[in-house]
Amino acid sequence: MAGSPLQISVSGVRGIIGESLTPEVAVGFARAFGTYLGPGKVVVGRDTRPSGDMVRSAAIAGLLSTGCDVVDIGIAPTPTTQIAVASGEAVGGIVITASHNPAEWNGLKFIRGDGIFLNAEQVDAFLAVHRRGVYAAADVNGLGRIQEDRDAADRHIAKVLAVVDAELIRRAKLHVALDSCNGAGCMPAQKLLEALGCRCTSINSTPDGQFSRGLELIPENLADLCALVRESGAHVGFAQDPDADRLAMVSEQGVAIGEEYTLALGCLFVAEKGAPPGPIVVNLSTSRMVEHVAQEHGRQVFRTPVGEVNVVERMLREKALIGGEGSGGLIYPAVHHGRDSLAAMGVILEGLARYGRPISELVAELLPRYEMVKREARLDEGVPVARIMSSVRSAYPDASLNDEDGVKWDWEDRWLHIRPSNTEPKVRIIAEAPTGDAAAKLADEGAALIRREMAALRQ
Residue-wise pLDDT tens digits, 275-290: 889 999 999 999 999 9
Contacts of 394 (CB under 8 A, 6+ apart): none
CA atoms within 13 A on the CB side of 6: 15
Whether 421 is a known active-site residue: answer no
- Note the pLDDT tens digit of each residue in 291-339: 999 999 999 999 999 999 999 999 999 999 999 999 999 999 999 999 9
The H-or-E segment that residue 112 falls in is: strand 105-112
The 10 Å Cβ neighbour count of residue 274 is: 9
pLDDT surpassing 80 at residue 383: no
- State the average pLDDT over residues 125-152: 97
Q: Measuring CA to CA, which residue among 194, 250, 188, 184 is closest to residue 217?
A: 250
pLDDT tens-digit series, residues 84-97: 999 989 999 999 99
Reported as a pLDDT band with limits 50, 70 and 90, residue 10 is: confident
List of domains in the chain? 7-150 (3.40.120.10), 155-366 (3.40.120.10), 371-458 (3.30.310.50)
For residue range 327-370, what is the model confidence (pLDDT) as tens digits?
999 999 999 999 999 999 999 999 999 999 999 999 999 999 99
The average confidence (pLDDT) of the chain is: 95
pLDDT score at 384: 84
- DSSP per residue over 34-73, as a string? HHHH-SSEEEEEE---TTHHHHHHHHHHHHHHTT-EEEEE
SS3 of residue 179 by DSSP: strand
- Active site residue: 99, 180, 251, 287, which one? 99
Report, as an integer, the average pLDDT of 263-269. Answer: 97
Q: Please give the helix or strand (H or E) that residue 113 lies within, else none.
A: none
Closest CA to 376 of 104, 100, 109, 181: 100
Per-residue pLDDT tens for 212-230? Answer: 999 999 999 999 999 999 9
- The answer on pLDDT for 458 being more than 80 is no
Q: How confident is the model at residue 3 (pLDDT cuts 50, 70, 90)?
A: low
Say if CB 379 and CB 425 are below 8 A apart.
yes
24-33 pLDDT, tens per residue? 999 999 999 9
